[in-house]
């Protein structure tokens, strides 16, 4: 008996809730046949088997479409500027604290004033 809101993954055979499947409008159910976990594993395995080929393709694409890639990166940076800034600030303060802790900066020498030498 099929439960409403659940689907069986064709890769692992487990019955999972619909939110465990990626939407796919070309399918009758409206969801992918494989659950997200299985798709992720399959994609990772493919990448590991074809790593060199994939890296070579990426380099070739980037070289052939340099302007398009640069425009994408500029747009992404502009859209996520505040996040980038916050991340950089946190990194700076974390590393600064580490450097100061490692440096063991000595305390400044105590200054004593001779009151007899002070001019009024």
If asked whether residues 58 and 22 sit together in one domain, one would say no
The reply to whether 55 and 98 lie within a common domain is yes
pTM listed for this prediction: 0.57
Any domain includes 112: no
Looking at the fold, whether 34 and 69 belong to one and the same domain comes out as no
How does residue 97 score in pLDDT terms, banded at 50, 70 and 90?
Answer: confident
Assess if residue 25 is contained within a domain: yes
Mark 1-22 as b/e (b = at least 16 C-beta within 10 Å). Answer: eeeeeebebeeeeeebeeebbe
Averaged pLDDT for residues 59-87: 97
Please give the residue range of the domain that contains residue 66. Answer: 51-102
Domain shared by 65 and 37, yes or no? no
**Are both 76 and 59 inside the same structural domain?**
yes
Secondary-structure breakdown of the chain: helix, strand, coil percentages, each rounded to the nearest 5: 60, 10, 30
Residue 36: burial class (beta carbons within 10 Å; 0-12, 13-18, 19+) = middle
Indicate whether 21 belongs to any domain. Answer: yes
CA atoms of 33 and 9, how far apart (whole Å): 6
Rounded Cα gap, residues 103 and 97, in angstroms:
10
Q: How many structural domains compose the chain? A: 2
Q: Place 116 in a pLDDT band, splitting at 50, 70 and 90.
A: low
**With bands split at pLDDT 50, 70 and 90, how would you rate the model's confidence at 107?**
low
pLDDT of residue 56: 98
Same domain, 36 and 65: no
37 and 61 both lie in a single domain: no
Each residue of 34-72: pLDDT tens digit?
A: 999 999 999 999 999 999 999 999 999 999 999 999 999
Residue 7 has a pLDDT of 93
Indicate whether 95 belongs to any domain: yes
Distance from C-alpha of 11 to C-alpha of 24, rounded to nearest angstrom: 16
Asked if residue 120 has pLDDT above 80, the reply is no
Domain check: are 34 and 61 in the same one? Answer: no
């Amino acid at each position: 008996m099929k439960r409403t809101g659940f689907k069986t993954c064709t890769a692992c055979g487990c019955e999972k809730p619909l939110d465990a499947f990626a939407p796919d409008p070309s399918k009758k159910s409206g969801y992918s046949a494989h659950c997200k976990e299985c798709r992720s594993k399959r994609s990772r395995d493919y990448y590991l088997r074809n790593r060199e080929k994939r890296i070579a393709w990426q380099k070739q694409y980037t070289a052939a479409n340099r302007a398009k890639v640069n425009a994408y990166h500029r747009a992404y940076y502009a859209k996520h500027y505040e996040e980038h800034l916050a991340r950089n600030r946190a990194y700076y303060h974390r590393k600064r604290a580490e450097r100061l802790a490692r440096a063991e900066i000595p305390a400044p020498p105590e200054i004593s004033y001779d009151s007899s030498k002070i001019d009024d």
